[in-house]
């Protein structure tokens, strides 16, 4: 009995040790898991506006990101064109600091000087140094992969797994640089459709992760950029929809710069037909992005990584379809071209929350690096991290739809017109403490001759439609500031054209930018706005973070 009891005691002691070791291992595993830097997924669409119902065709994205995270109603880009905007996203800098002024090599888009300079300090470089496994798939910069930009052999620094599109957005018949080697694609949906390629390769990358390191994925889709090739299963979606007939649709812009004044109003019937077709086609391309977001979220959940992953969804610039009788494009200073979506889910973000803080594309890079705990100084960026806003509850849940801007109301599928603005309880809880002004910069492009429009030879015009309505020109070059507080909202734009034309809008009372008040606003107000434009046009790093003095009482 004694021996048996002793043996039993020894067995109990051994079992207790096993249990103790198991508990210790479990505790260490949980501690390691909790201490690991968060993962980040960044979905970037192309030309997805907010002003024309930008979120509406993407119910999965809204349910899987917005409804369980935070939606920003005042998200803007620093330039309304692909390459300058994407360069700002990558570097966290304004155009005047990274110097990628347009979509051409001569405009520094993925040029050798860009690659030797700003690209070396893009956010993925610091994430990789901080231990992140990094993955990129899709459109990078418009000139990427071209012979003058180093060809497909050039892999931008900071990326472990690289699948970069050569050139501008395409859905079929394109080439990818796959870790420095060219991969050609044709026109077969199953093997070539680019959005689906991005989706599948993101899942492949996730399959290779073993939990030892955090990861960053940038999924840069061609949608909803032209040529608007949707997946075949979506060709019949949205057949009854038309482009929104907003207050500024098919009207002639008055007291605006000459490029707006040269439009045809009312627009020809074939132009309106084309606009409606483009609207439907753009939405259809986004359905594949919606499926991709669902696939990635499901994969993260299966991996047990979803709760430790931030997912960002945004676009590189806005878009217009018939506003001020401009047929279709971007490049303009108005909100329909500079306001874009931003939804974020992740650790410590309150579900179904909303922020009215003014956020800009230059804020994404410093945000990623703060999430990644890289230690990179925020003073080196023109933008600022929004992590504190993401984790703040007071900026969200009480915001009513009646308090949102007209542009955001449109994106939510609400009425086209907003009620007269009054300060709400929701706005009282949001002090706009993050920033109250930011800069928009654009440098016009031109061609020597325009196909189909011989009258424009050597006139410096660009991007003209079948009726020779042009949407860009050499002197469509401007700088603007947006000033935004609870009580005031102004846009001040100075153009570098022959007339040194100025456009100023009271965005609180004129959200559709119908009335230019440059000639009627108080001189003190115009002086303050002009001074702020001059300051921001020269700012760098921390000097871009200074808040503008209040304009209250100057109107």
- Enumerate the active-site residues: 82
Tokens representing 8?
Answer: 């039993």
Residue 190, both tokens: 């199953």
Between CA 311 and CA 65 the distance in angstroms is 7
Strands (E), 289-377: 309-315, 342-345, 353-355, 359-360
Give the C-alpha separation, 13 to 459, whole Å. Answer: 91
- Please, are residues 241 and 287 in contact by the beta-carbon 8 Å criterion? no
Give the residue among 269, 439, 445, 427 at the shortest CA–CA distance from 357: 427
Q: What's the token pair of residue 473? A: 């020109």
Residue 373: both structure tokens together: 């705990």
Classify residue 167 as exposed, middle or buried by CB count within 10 Å of its CB (0-12, 13-18, 19+): middle
Token pair listed for 386:
């929004």
User: Cα separation of 536 and 524, whole Å?
Assistant: 19
Residues facing 186 on adjacent strands: none
- Helix boundaries (H) for 353-455: 364-371, 387-390, 406-411, 425-428
Q: Which two tokens stand for residue 411?
A: 């994106």
Residues 439, 77: Cα–Cα separation, whole Å: 9
Distance CA 86, CA 107 (A): 14
Angle at CA of residue 260, ends 53 and 520, nearest 5°? 95
CA 188 to each of CA 21, 173, 236: distance values in angstroms, whole numbers, following the listed order: 55, 9, 19
CA distance 510 to 507: 5
Bond before 335 cis per omega within 30 degrees: no
Q: Which of 484, 359, 407, 434 minimizes the C-alpha distance to 89?
A: 359
Nearest alpha-carbon partner for 283 in 241, 325, 248, 322: 241
CA 533/CA 539 separation, integer angstroms: 10
Give the angle subtended at the CA of 501 by the CAs of 495 and 507, to the nearest 5°.
80
Give the Cα separation of 312 and 70 in Å (integer): 10
Of the candidates 10, 12, 8, which has an alpha carbon nearest to the alpha carbon of residue 20?
12
- How is residue 65 annotated by DSSP? I
Q: Residue for token digits 């109003």?
A: 265
Kindly state the tokens that stand for 515: 């009335």
């Amino acid at each position: 009995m004694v021996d048996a009891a002793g043996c039993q005691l020894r067995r109990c002691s051994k079992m207790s040790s096993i249990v103790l070791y198991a508990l210790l291992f479990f505790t260490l595993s949980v501690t390691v898991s909790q201490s690991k830097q968060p993962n980040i997924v960044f979905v970037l669409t192309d030309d997805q506006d907010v002003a024309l119902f930008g979120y509406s065709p993407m119910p999965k994205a809204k349910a899987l990101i917005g409804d369980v995270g935070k939606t920003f109603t005042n998200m803007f880009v620093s330039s309304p064109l692909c390459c300058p905007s994407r360069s700002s996203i990558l570097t966290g800098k304004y155009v005047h600091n990274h110097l990628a002024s347009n979509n051409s090599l001569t405009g520094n888009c993925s040029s050798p000087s860009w690659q030797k300079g700003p690209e070396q300090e893009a956010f993925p470089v610091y994430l990789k140094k901080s231990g992140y496994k990094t993955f990129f798939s899709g459109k990078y910069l418009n000139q990427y992969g071209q012979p003058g930009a180093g060809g497909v052999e050039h892999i931008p620094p900071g990326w472990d797994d690289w699948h970069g599109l050569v050139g501008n957005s395409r859905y079929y018949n394109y080439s990818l640089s796959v870790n420095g080697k060219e991969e050609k694609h044709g026109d077969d949906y199953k093997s070539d459709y680019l959005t689906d390629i991005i989706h599948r390769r993101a899942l492949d990358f996730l399959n290779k992760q073993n939990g030892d390191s955090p990861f960053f994925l940038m999924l840069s889709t061609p949608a909803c950029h032209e040529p608007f090739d949707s997946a075949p299963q979506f060709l019949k979606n949205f057949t009854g929809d038309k482009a929104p007939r907003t207050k500024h649709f098919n009207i002639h812009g008055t007291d605006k710069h000459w490029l707006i004044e040269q439009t045809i109003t009312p627009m020809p019937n074939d132009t309106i037909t084309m606009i409606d077709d483009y609207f439907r086609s753009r939405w259809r391309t986004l359905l594949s992005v919606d499926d991709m977001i669902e696939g990635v979220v499901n994969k993260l959940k299966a991996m047990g990584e979803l709760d430790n992953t931030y997912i960002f969804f945004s676009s590189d610039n806005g878009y217009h379809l018939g506003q001020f009788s401009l047929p279709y494009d971007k490049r303009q200073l108005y909100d329909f071209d500079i306001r874009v979506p931003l939804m974020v889910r992740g650790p410590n973000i309150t579900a179904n929350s909303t922020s009215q803080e003014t956020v800009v594309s230059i804020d994404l890079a410093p945000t990623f690096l703060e999430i990644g705990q890289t230690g990179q100084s925020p003073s080196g960026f023109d933008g600022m991290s929004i992590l504190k806003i993401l984790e703040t509850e007071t900026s969200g849940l009480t915001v009513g739809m009646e308090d949102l801007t007209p542009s955001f109301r449109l994106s939510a599928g609400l009425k086209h017109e907003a009620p007269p603005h009054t300060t709400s309880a929701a706005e009282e809880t949001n002090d706009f403490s993050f920033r109250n002004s930011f800069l928009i910069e654009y440098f016009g492009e031109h061609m020597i001759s325009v196909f189909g429009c011989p009258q424009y030879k050597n006139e410096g015009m660009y991007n003209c439609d079948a009726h020779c309505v042009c949407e860009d020109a050499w002197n469509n070059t401007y700088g603007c500031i947006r000033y935004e507080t609870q009580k005031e909202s102004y846009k001040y734009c100075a153009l570098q054209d022959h007339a040194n034309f100025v456009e100023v809008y009271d965005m609180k009372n004129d959200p559709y930018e119908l009335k230019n008040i440059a000639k009627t606003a108080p001189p003190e107000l115009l002086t303050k706005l002009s001074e702020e434009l001059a300051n921001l046009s020269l700012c760098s790093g921390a000097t871009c973070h200074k808040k503008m003095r209040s304009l209250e009482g100057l109107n």
